[in-house]
Structure 1
Amino acid sequence: MLFCSVFWYNAKAMSATVQTQAVVPNMNGAYRFLIIDDEPIVREGISEIIDWQSHGFELVGACRDGREGIRAVEELRPDVVLTDICMPFVDGLQLAAWVAEQYPAVKTILLTGYDDFEYAQEAVKLRVTDFLLKPITADELREMLEKIRRELDIERSQERRLELLQQQVHESLPLLRERFLNRLARAELHPSEVQRRLDFLELALPGPAFLVLICDLDGSEDSEQLLGLAVQNIVGQVAAGFPGAVAFSTPGEQSVVVLSAGDEAAALPRGLECAELIAERVSRELARTVSIGVGESGLGFAAVPASYAQASTALEQRLVRGPAQIITAEQLGAPLRPSIQSPDTDARSAYVRALKTADRSAAAAALDAVVGALRRNDADTETRYLTMQRLLADALSGLEALGLDALGFDPLGLDGTAPDGGQANPFVAIARMKTLDEMQEWFRRFQERAWTVLNQRQRSHSHAKAEAAEEYIRANAHRPDLSLAAVCGALSVSKSYFSPLFKEHTGKTFVEYLTDLRVERAKELLLRDPLKSYEVAERVGFRDAHYFSLTFKKTTGVSPTEFRELARQKS
């Protein structure tokens, strides 16, 4: 504890010089109290009569005049100063005026006699907190301390709430800035209120010319989310290198830069330089590409939403021009016009026909025609997306006509689920794609997947038919009139469809299969029952016993009688 005249509650220990030490923060929450009076008995009396700690105070010093008091205030930084008015060198009113100017948060209490009451009235003008009339009693002093402590408690609580609020505002600044800049870009703010908000958010957009560029990562995979955050960081870092530029992200996770320039002519070169730096760093650091739309420059804050809209339209041209592009609004020419008509209905129909017949070359030609028409015409971006989604709808309808359930068909042949666990939606997949090239490649994979599934289903269907045919033949092989026509009639299929299907499934023609089956059954009867050859022939489906013997010998190498005899010899 530092005292002006080092004071250990012992008047004999007083010194005529002011001794100081570094101010130690008060760790117990007590308020720091400083006494300034030129009368030793007053200093000692006030110091010793009060239990400072019980009242929430810490006595940090006792000074003998105003000059020493000023030094003590500077070095000890008390919360409360109790000073006499009449003192040598610097009186109490001068000290109070100095404290009010230099340390307005410090509370000053004047100690005065009755003869000095007129000075006390003057003290009110100096923002003195209170004053006590000599002689003072211990109760008066304690009452004054309680009053001051309550005031200080209230002020400290308010300061803490203010600090907490300031901390919360500071922590929220990034989010508040992003919301503000998004509203500015969407023309949701009046230009007159922009500067006030910029000042509050500590953003610098000096202007007077402004230009906006929008950066978006090429590709549409779900795995791009982390890469998108990395792109946003790069954009922010690049923008920080351009004085008067700010970067933010849109709800659609695109990165936006608002650039300031001294005049409109200087804005576009700065914008292109910024865009090129972003594209170069993304390529070098992430091994990916971005496309960037650059709006036109304009004067005043009203130019920001206009340039943002132009940059967004320029970026949409990636759909036609492909990825890794820096596209300026100046390159677009006349605005694109909306259209509700598909550019090439014939090509769409041709694609569906080729899809249904699994004609790869025709499908490729038709798809090239659809996409080529979209590249050439002047329809807007929305119409281009709509055309590709119509093509998908037509294709799924055609596949459904072939027995492929459109809703249950996963066009990409992945796991069949969307990121949220629901059924994959190919229309959403189309809407997320960013270039016509990407869409065209998607359709190529789509058609291959469709043909694979159709082929699998066809094979499954054929397999079922073949097995049904086998079952029917086994059940009716004993009938001499069993024929290919009878089997096909039972299965409701044509001979031309059934014959290759059955041969592929069994490796035998219908006649070969039936003959082998009848011969095998004849072997079983010859070994088991003492039947004549003609009787065996009748039971397994042969009308003519002689033909049966010839067929049996051709198949086994021996006649029925020889077969039976050889079997007996072996047994």
Structure 2
Amino acid sequence: MYTLLLVDDEEDVIEVIERKVSWEQIGFHVVGHAGNGFKALEMMEDMQPDVVMTDIRMPYMDGLELCSNIRQRFPATKLLLFTGFDDFEYAKEAVHLEIEEYILKPLNLAEITEVFKKLKTKLDDELNEKKNTDILKQYYAASLPVLQSNFYTTLIEGRIPENELGRYMRDYKIVLEGPYYCCIIIHTSASQMPQGMDIRLLAVSVERQAQADLKERWNGRIFNYLGDTVMIAQLVQQEDISELTDECDRFCKYVNHVMGAKVTVGIGQVCENVQELVSSYQSAREAVSYRVLYGSNRAINMTEVEPQRRISKDGDEGNELSNLFKMICIGKIEDVGQAVEAYMQHNFMSQQSLENYHVAVMELISELYHFMSNNELNAQEISGSVGRLYNELSNFEPVVLKQWLLDFSSRLHDDMADARYNSKKSLIDSAKDYVHRNYRSVDLGLDDTCKELGVSNSYFSSLFKKETGSSFVEYLTDYRMDKAARMLVETDDKSYVIAQNVGYADPNYFSYVFKRKYGVSPSRYRTEYEKNKV
């Protein structure tokens, strides 16, 4: 059952199409309808319909402009135009928009039904190609050349000496021009997947889609490592990381919609040297693990969710202490307790000599200090009195030491949570302040605000909605309308002047948005206020 969004400013036309056509019988479900192009684009973000059927002539944004925006942002969406005879030749000129069909008004229900039956067949063929097991197996066998894949794996493990890097790249015909690099990890969930699908084939399908959607744009090198798909992306400038994050976020939602795959994309730190990709890879792994806090089916940029986190290049992520630090960052308090228990059992409960016990205590103090420093936590409690702390802890019995470590780790867990909360609150406050200072600008919007804040649209939009209960666009619109309402009752300015003063170049669209919020036109709002005042 494919999804359909109808767009037309004539409600009676929408009603006839929605009511008269037997949509479910021909394999479609109408998920919504919009009266203009602006509203349709807002709905596209949430609904991600397979098909959009739109009229050409509409206020504020016509059908061709809408199709152009959809083609850029949602290239997989099928587009249909219905229009009057006078606009037909005009519509046919837009061949670059890859319109599936042009339907002339007055609408013929039989013709619409036939058009959508053919479109259903085309969509089925495309879907079957994506899911065809034989094709996936062939693609799996013909993945990246073994030598190149081994090189990329060894590179992110940090096992290629710097003086041999050039030789390997020449021998394997590998070109990494940069000038900036970033590792991303595409993790496909094995616990949440379509019934009857083999996880290996599903992962291959996701990788193939990454080859199609991400590789060319980011000059990427894609390979498999530890069950995940990894891509080394090349960036022209460091600021491109926000655009990469947004594109990966759209990728997650698309593969979920088409294949039913739950995918998390972890995005590592940007680096300037190929040798530093080991750190970028490790921070990407950290980002993927943060899905327990931020949810799967999305892109997670480590520098956005934990700006203060610095990943250790030489960290052994497999030992008990690394697991404890991980639980301090992203686990629940009971997870911290279990990690402390595992660490103590392995490192202290089985010690046979006092000397080894004291060495383990010193190593624990050193690692705690490095962890706190790397996360910009107050390490004064350790750094200011290492000798005193060592003398105190080395005289503790294991049971007492375990309780001390549990209490200390619990405080670190709370400190990390507080730092994360304050970081989010600061970002939201900065965004609101930016709106308050720039709401008069016609160009102010989500893209402009995220660029100013230095974060991706996907992360900011998700965070803003979660923290405030409304989308950023809704907040901006409400703020502008509140300002407009005050201007209407406190000044004698004309509506078109007020529209410009709150960031609307089109006074008609301003009136449309104002009426949608307050239920009356701007002029009526002013008149009623004057009456009530008298």
Superposition TM-score tier, normalisation by shorter sequence: 0.3 to 0.5
Higher-Rg member (1/2): 1
* Bigger RCO of structures 1 and 2 (CA < 8 A, at least 6 apart): 2
